[in-house]
Structure 1
Amino acid sequence: MIPRSVVALQMIRESLVTKIFVVCFLAIHMPLLAMIAYLAGGYSSHPFPILTILLVATLVGTIACLAALWWFIRPLRLLATALKRYNAEGAPVRLPVEGTDEIGVVSRAVAATMNELEGVMRKLRQQAMTDQLTGLGNRRWLSERIVTEQARAEREKSPISVVLFDLDHFKDINDSFGHDVGDRVLIGVGEVIRDNLRRYDLAARIGGEEFCLILPKTRIGEAVVIAERFRTQLEKLNVDPLPQGRITASFGIYQATPCDSMQAMLLQADRALYRAKEKGRNCVQSFDWHAETR
């Protein structure tokens, strides 16, 4: 059988009301307990020492009561601070709460709920920024990342190139073989892109069969070489029942300037892409802004 003293201590630990009651009871009766101890010790009953003991005991009881109450509600203060940080900065709610009373239970439950909610929100944000079919970024993701890359390029005085390409006669694949085959083609293209990207390159699917590569630290001549490699790899892509070499793409390349918006970059790359289509598709064309303006 569990001793009653252990049961009582367990009840005090798990009940905020009991804790407050015990602390307030002891604090209120501190002067009385001090007076009883003083008189039981056989000390003088002169009014001055008695008043002094009562005053000191009252102060000690009051300070101890306030300190205990401060400690009891500390998890609530930590929770309030964490929630304010979450609302202001999106910081995860983490609390070093060890208590088993009502405040501890509520604090842990709120922290767990907020962390679970943050996990769900993080997944939703990722889904909103990802093309579900290919696993690449989408247009929204690209528009956010490209601003960062342009700022870095301007800060480091380094070039940045844009490669825009789309699959040749992709509609014919859907019409002749079905959308399931078309989807498998897009998935295969996504795999080719991921396998050939450098660690700092960006890739996104920005349309039905249209893709965009952002190549930091890359001049237009280097971008042409990279695009040719992608073009060759796509020609080798095998998706049953399509014949080998049926999957091809036309590429347009533009070396951006720091002041270019995303729309301007895509527009110039699209002009080069249009040239590639005019030249018979399955080729790489670049748009040299300096050459165009001379």
Structure 2
Amino acid sequence: MRLYRGLARVFPRSFSAKLMSVVFVGLHVPLLVLLLWMAFTGHYRRDTMWTVVGVVLAATLVGTAMAMMALYRLMAPLRQAADALEAYYDEQRLPHLPDLGHDEIGRLLRSINRNLHGVDAGLRDLRRSVLLDPLTQALNRRGCEQALAESARQAQSRRQPLSLFVVDLDNLKPINDAHGHLVGDQVLVRLVESARQWLQPGDWIGRWGGDEFVLAVHAGHEVACERLRRWLQTMEGSVGEEIPLKASAGGAGYRPGEDLRELYRRADAAMYRAKYAGGARLCCDGD
């Protein structure tokens, strides 16, 4: 990179000029050596022909080796660019290529930096849109499944408790019938926003489908159940312009190594017990 930076001071906007200068110097080294030798040793004599041939041959070999070495070093930015592209393709590792000026290579490296960062940002937005519910911006079903797998992995590796809750609204249909579906949509959005006010870092809420939501809480099961119970009471106690919400919820604590479908089944069964018991309450697995 030092050779490149040095030539960049002389030819700041042309990589071709850099290459040509290296080739020019490499090809003319033999001639320069021959001229210097003849100048210091006097006129040319026949009996010194083989000496001249040897000197010219040696100088040519040296000049060729120097030119090849310089070209190899001059190509270092291109090798870095190729490595950066491969690293992003294989590991999604963003490049941090150096800024080498305004010639062809400098523009190429800046373009790779800028374009890969733009592509990566676009992919992150796409992943988020694929995993989020467009109405509530909570996780959608696919997002819930991925988040639950990650939560279970962390709970098992760190030996931390994890509780899963299934929440189903009891009065969304009456709200839609009385106030319209637009108000019903606003109710769903408000439910997610209110949940995020008490969820801790690492906890999450997702819309499983319709008016059914799933929450994961990284806390002891009794503590998690108490937090969810207070949340249900807060929603049911809404006054003023906010329409009170009634929801049935079921919870289950994660057992290390448990199949996640079984964990959801236990929480879902507890939610149906709450609904069959009259709704607007929380039932936990094992109660």
- Asked if these proteins are the same fold (TM beyond 0.5), I'd say yes
TM-score by length of 2: 0.86
Percent identity, please: 31
Match of 2:197 among 195, 198, 211: 195
Q: State whether residues 156 and 257 of structure 2, in contact with CA within 8 Å, keep that contact through their aligned partners in structure 1.
A: no
Q: 1:236 to 1:113 in 2, by over 3 A?
A: same
* SS of equivalent to 2:197: helix
Amino acid at match of 2:263: M
State the one-letter code of the partner of 2:245: I
| Correspondence for 1:229 | 230
| Contact persistence 1:251–1:272 (CA under 8 A) | yes
Cα offset for 1:49? 5.8
- Judged with a 3 Å threshold, the aligned counterparts in structure 2 of structure 1 residues 114 and 28 are, in CA distance, closer, same or farther, namely same
Aligned residue runs from structure 1 range 143-154, under 5 A: 143-154=145-156
Q: How does 1:212-223 map to 2 (within 5 A)?
A: 212-219=214-221, 221-223=222-224
TM-aligned CA deviation for residue 59 of structure 1: 3.2
Cα displacement string for residues 200-247 of structure 1 (whole angstroms, at most 9, x for unaligned residues):
32221212211111122422x2232122111122123457373xxx31
Alignment gaps of 5+ in structure 1: 1-8
8 Å contact kept, 1:139–1:206: yes
SS in 1 for 2:144: helix
**Matched length:** 277
Deviation at 1:131, TM superposition (A): 2.3
Q: 1:92 to 1:186 in 2, by over 3 A?
A: same
1:143-167 residue CA offsets vs partner (Å, 9 max, x unmatched): 1122222223333444322111121
Q: Distance in 1 between matches of 2:161 and 2:18?
A: 67
Cα deviation for residue 260 of structure 1 reads: 2.8
Structure 1 residue 168: Cα displacement: 1.4
**Deviation (angstroms), 1:128:** 1.4
Aligned in 2, Cα 1:126/1:239: closer, same or farther, shift over 3 Å?
farther
Distance in 2 (CA, whole Å) between partners of 1:204 and 1:54 is 78
Matches within 5 A, 1:37-56: 37-42=36-41, 46=48, 50-51=52-53, 53-56=55-58
Q: Distance in 2 between matches of 1:273 and 1:127?
A: 29
1:63-116 alpha-carbon deviations (Å, 9 max, x no partner): 221122123322221111111111111111331140433233233223322221
Q: Tell me if the contact between 1:185 and 1:239 (Cα under 8 Å) persists in the aligned partners.
A: no
CA distance in 2, matches of 1:117, 1:28: 44
Matches of 1:146 and 1:128, distance apart in 2: 16
| SS at structure 1 position matched to 2:165 | strand
SS of corresponding position for 2:283? strand
Query: Are residues 99 and 67 of structure 1, via their aligned partners in 2, closer, same or farther at CA, if it must alter by over 3 Å?
Result: farther
Unaligned runs of 5+ in 2: 1-7
- Measured on the aligned residues, the alpha-carbon RMSD in Å equals 2.5
- Change beyond 3 A, Cα 1:233–1:53: farther
Q: Deviations over 1:45-75 (max 9, x none)?
A: 6457645543442233112211221233222
Equivalent-residue separation in structure 2 for 1:173 and 1:117 (angstroms): 43
Q: Once structures 1 and 2 are overlaid, which stretch shifts more, 174-183 or 101-110?
A: 101-110
Q: Does 1:275 align with 2:277?
A: no
Which is worse superposed, 132-141 or 22-31?
Answer: 132-141
Where does residue 179 of structure 2 map in the other structure?
A: 177
How do 1:1-294 and structure 2 match up within 5 A? 12-42=11-41, 46=48, 50-51=52-53, 53-219=55-221, 221-238=222-239, 240=241, 242=243, 246-288=244-286
SS at match of 2:209: coil
- The residue matched to 2:163 in structure 1 has which SS? strand
Cα distance between partner residues in 1 of 2:129 and 2:97: 29
Aligned residue identity for 1:19: K
Displacement of 1:169 in angstroms is 1.8
Contact between 1:184 and 1:239, CA under 8 Å: does it hold in 2?
Answer: no
SS in 1 for 2:12: helix
